[in-house]
Amino acid sequence: MLEIRNLHARIAEDGTEIIRGLNLTVNDGEVAAIMGPNGSGKSTLSYILAGREEYEVTEGDILYNGESILELDPAERATKGIFLAFQYPVEIPGVATMQFLKVAMNEQRKARGEDELSTPDFMRRVKEAAAGLQISPEMLRRPLNVGFSGGEKKRAEILQMALLEPKLCVLDETDSGLDIDALKIVADGVNALRSPDRSVVVITHYQRLLDYIVPDTVHVLYKGQVIKSGDKTLAHELEANGYADIIEAAA
């Protein structure tokens, strides 16, 4: 699904290197967790996967289903099935959530040469997905993310993911700001989407989320590199001992 080879990337504006020789492979159907201290480059990596122009790739490659995506713009990547649930979802004033969903779904369909969804078909899909995430119709009428609580924003991200049916889902701290019940709802939402042809990259600081979304692999990101990889037990280790030992071992 995803293969990142010796990736180096910097901030386009000032040339600061953030990603410094990162390697990561995520197989079809795999759930990979990425952990790491604040500022280690997790969100930056997710933005680079999504194609944000603020960052410039200087070396290495990102292969998605065997093909480099470095030349694709963000909308093209989205259309090919790469989805990013933002750490800080952006407010879109004046645009009802429902309308945003419809435009996003139809733009993607259009780009793939598919027909637009009929209104009843669209409504049915939204209703179903929203109900599962306990998102009210009232919320769907409000402008996207405007005035949403932290938890509502995160649920709205997962709703979009469910409707857009991506192949590679990158969840950037989707658990932060969620209460226990909401965490469970969101995790159920993600688990429902797990399938052999869909991979999930979960960026998180806490084992708690990984209790619900059990990862196949865990990777530690530090200063723009993956310094250790393992299975789910690695996350438990980190929870118990912190990053100090691993960082020292890698140095």
Binding residues for another protein, rule: CB under 8 A, are 12-13, 50-54, 73-75, 78-79, 83-84, 86, 89-96, 99-100, 103-104, 107-108, 111, 143, 160, 164
**CB neighbours of 218 closer than 8 A, spacing ≥ 6?**
32, 33, 34, 35, 210, 229, 230, 231, 232, 234, 235, 238
Binding mask 74-93 for Mg ion (x = CB under 5 A): -------------x------
42/198 with CB nearer Mg ion: 42
Is residue 115 classed as helix, strand or coil in its secondary structure? Answer: coil
Angle ∠(6,222,62) on CA atoms, nearest 5? 25
Q: What are phi and psi of 7, to 5 degrees?
A: -80, 130
Binding mask 54-73 for ligand ATP (x = CB under 6 A): x-------------------
174 touches Mg ion by CB under 5 A:
no
43 touches Mg ion by CB under 5 A:
yes
| Dihedral sign of CA atoms 55, 58, 59, 62 in order | positive
| Type of residue at 24 | L
Query: H helices within 80-204, ranges in order?
Result: 97-111, 119-132, 137-141, 150-164, 180-193
User: Among another protein, ligand ATP, Mg ion, none, what binds residue 143 when CB lies within 5 to 8 Å by partner kind?
Assistant: another protein
Instruction: Tell me how far the alpha carbon of residue 205 is from its chain's centroid.
Output: 14
Please name the helix (run of DSSP H) or strand (run of DSSP E) that holds residue 6, with its range, or none. Answer: strand 2-11
Binding footprint of ligand ATP, residue count (CB under 6 A) = 12
User: Among Mg ion, ligand ATP, another protein, none, what binds residue 86 when CB lies within 5 to 8 Å by partner kind?
Assistant: another protein
Q: By CB under 6 A, which span of 42-50, 56-64, 133-141, 162-170 interacts with ligand ATP?
A: 42-50
Near ligand ATP by CB under 6 A: residue from 9, 10, 24, 42: 42
238 touches ligand ATP by CB under 6 A:
no
The torsion of the CA quartet 10, 43, 219, 21, rounded to 10 degrees, works out to 0
Q: How far apart are CA 191 and CA 129, in angstroms?
A: 13
Binding mask 79-118 for ligand ATP (x = CB under 6 A): --------x-------------------------------
Radius of gyration from C-alpha coordinates of the chain: 18
119 touches ligand ATP by CB under 6 A:
no
Near ligand ATP by CB under 6 A: residue from 22, 26, 33, 40: 40
111/131 with CB nearer another protein: 111
Binding site for ligand ATP (CB under 6 A): 11, 18, 36, 38-44, 54, 87
